[in-house]
Amino acid sequence: MHTVSELLSALARRAPFEKAADWDPVGLQLGDPAAHVQRVAVCHEVTEEVVRRLEQTRVDLLVSYHPLLFRATSRLLAGKTPTGRALRLAQERVALAVVHTNFDVAPGGTADALAEALGLEEISGFAPLLGPEVRKVVTFLPADAAAPVLEAVSAAGAGRIGNYTHCSYRGEGLGTFFAGEGTDPATGSRGGRNEEPEVRLEFVVPRAVEESVLEALVLAHPYEEPAFDVYERRGDAAMIGRIGRPADGTTLRALAERARAELGHPVLRIAGDRDRALSRVAVIPGSGSAYLARAAQAGADAVVTGDLDHHRVREALDRGLGLLDAGHAPTERPGLERLYAAVAAIGIETLSFLDLDPDPWHAQP
């Protein structure tokens, strides 16, 4: 029998949580990591309808694409609110895990699914999505001590990039020091100036485990006074958008018709020349207003996304972009089936709540 923690580890191998946006509360939002799981459900968003179904159907873990609790809260009060729904999940003893922007950027995830649903070819990524705050730690030590120190800090949570662990870089150099009275140097001699061959060892550290990693470093380091530096760092960003080539002769009008058919007949908004032939189309699942300029710089002549606001649309039109706003939830729909498949592949009974669509918009008949 799997535990909640084991299921999250399996999902992390498919879509590492550290690849999520720094504002995105992915991972376990509610529940006991050690609890056993016999049945899982997958939903797009934790709506009232989803909670009602959970109150009628026994589920141990709910995997949601959208976070339920986007912001920190100090109260769980009953009501038709995110905190009210969290309270009801807790009362039903349903754990809640979120797989959101980390699945957007993952190979074969939400962004790729949208691009493929629209028939794009020669697909590549654009628009880096920076993840949570990370540090880089650099230390200096004898070459034969580098491996055991790396092992110690990796066990404390350092050196992880995506699905790779024990990631580090080493460079050889010469360290100098004068060991004064009362010292006990691991190399060199006391009472004189020493020059010793050393290795510069550097590795990344998530902010959440920084103190534990530094403690492990000091304990494993052979020097009496370990030398190390901690730097702020941004890197290892995955791409939130995709850009590709549509079929020859595809116009913005034709692209809109394909989106209507493939994305569940959403409410569509179009800006730009509908009869213009397109050569490169960019897609961003969910809310893409912030990435329109990046799409233009990447060579797109049209963008498909959701939640476009007036002023950014005007700026994009001035750049020569055609725009198709197919809605927030509809542009995510192709990826949700893949999320369900990823959860089901773990080997536990998995229910689909994807029929409970969270899109609030409907076309006027």
Kindly report, residue by residue over 243-255, the tens digit of the pLDDT.
Answer: 999 999 999 999 9
pLDDT band per the 50, 70, 90 thresholds, residue 263: very high
Tell me how many degrees the CA angle 155-160-162 measures, rounded to the nearest 5.
Answer: 140
Top-confidence residue, 119 or 224? 119
Asked if residue 246 and residue 223 are part of one domain, the reply reads no
pLDDT band per the 50, 70, 90 thresholds, residue 272: very high
pLDDT above 80: residue 1? no
pLDDT band per the 50, 70, 90 thresholds, residue 198: very high
- State the burial class of residue 43 (Cβ atoms within 10 Å of its Cβ: 0-12, 13-18, 19+): buried
pLDDT of residue 180: 84
pLDDT of residue 117: 98
C-alpha span between 128 and 106 (Å, rounded): 12
Asked if residue 156 and residue 123 are part of one domain, the reply reads no
Cα atoms in the Cβ-side hemisphere of radius 13 Å centred on 4: 21
Kindly report, residue by residue over 55-95, the tens digit of the pLDDT.
Answer: 999 999 999 999 999 988 899 999 999 999 999 999 999 99
Average pLDDT score, the chain: 95
Residue 37 token pair: 């799981």
253 CB-near residues (< 8 Å, 6+ apart): 270, 274, 275
90 located within any domain? yes
pLDDT of residue 121: 97
pLDDT band per the 50, 70, 90 thresholds, residue 193: confident
**What is the 8-class DSSP label of residue 156?**
T
pLDDT of residue 234: 84
Q: Kindly list the strands in the beta sheet with 228-233, ordered across the sheet, starting from the edge strand earlier in the chain.
A: 169-178, 193-206, 134-141, 228-233
Amino acid letter for position 360: P
Average pLDDT of span 326-337:
97
Asked if residue 145 and residue 117 are part of one domain, the reply reads no
Asked if residue 124 and residue 168 are part of one domain, the reply reads no
pLDDT band per the 50, 70, 90 thresholds, residue 236: confident
pLDDT above 90: residue 186? no
pLDDT above 80: residue 364? no
pLDDT of residue 182: 77
Nearest CA among 300, 296, 307, 302 for reference residue 330:
307
pLDDT of residue 162: 82
Asked if residue 74 and residue 6 are part of one domain, the reply reads yes
pLDDT of residue 188: 76
pLDDT above 90: residue 204? yes
pLDDT of residue 291: 97
pLDDT of residue 133: 85
Domain with 212 in it: 134-233
Q: Are 268 and 325 in contact (CB under 8 A)?
A: yes
**How far are the Cα atoms of 7, 110, 144, 265 from residue 33, in angstroms, in the given order?**
9, 26, 38, 39
Asked if residue 316 and residue 250 are part of one domain, the reply reads yes
Average pLDDT of span 218-237:
91
Asked if residue 78 and residue 44 are part of one domain, the reply reads yes
What is the CATH number for 32? 3.40.1390.30
Residue 235 token pair: 């890197």
pLDDT of residue 240: 97
This prediction has a pTM of 0.88
Average pLDDT of span 151-161:
95
Q: What percent of the chain lies above the pLDDT cut of 90?
A: 86
What is the CATH number for 216? 3.30.70.120
Asked if residue 214 and residue 274 are part of one domain, the reply reads no
Cα atoms in the Cβ-side hemisphere of radius 13 Å centred on 165: 10
Asked if residue 199 and residue 150 are part of one domain, the reply reads yes
Q: Are 97 and 62 in contact (CB under 8 A)?
A: yes
Asked if residue 48 and residue 14 are part of one domain, the reply reads yes
Nearest CA among 198, 172, 185 for reference residue 224:
185
Show the beta-strand stretches assigned E in the chain: 2-3, 27-30, 36-37, 39-43, 61-64, 95-98, 121-129, 134-141, 169-178, 193-206, 228-233, 238-245, 269-271, 281-287, 302-306, 322-325, 349-352
Top-confidence residue, 68 or 186? 68
State the angle between helix axes of 328-344 and 110-117 in degrees (0 to 180), rounded to the nearest 10.
120
Cα atoms in the Cβ-side hemisphere of radius 13 Å centred on 358: 21
365 CB-near residues (< 8 Å, 6+ apart): none
User: How many independent structural domains does the chain possess?
Assistant: 3
Kindly report, residue by residue over 299-318, the tens digit of the pLDDT.
Answer: 999 999 999 999 999 999 99
Asked if residue 84 and residue 13 are part of one domain, the reply reads yes
Of 206, 233, 260, the last residue of a domain is 233
pLDDT above 80: residue 41? yes
pLDDT band per the 50, 70, 90 thresholds, residue 16: very high
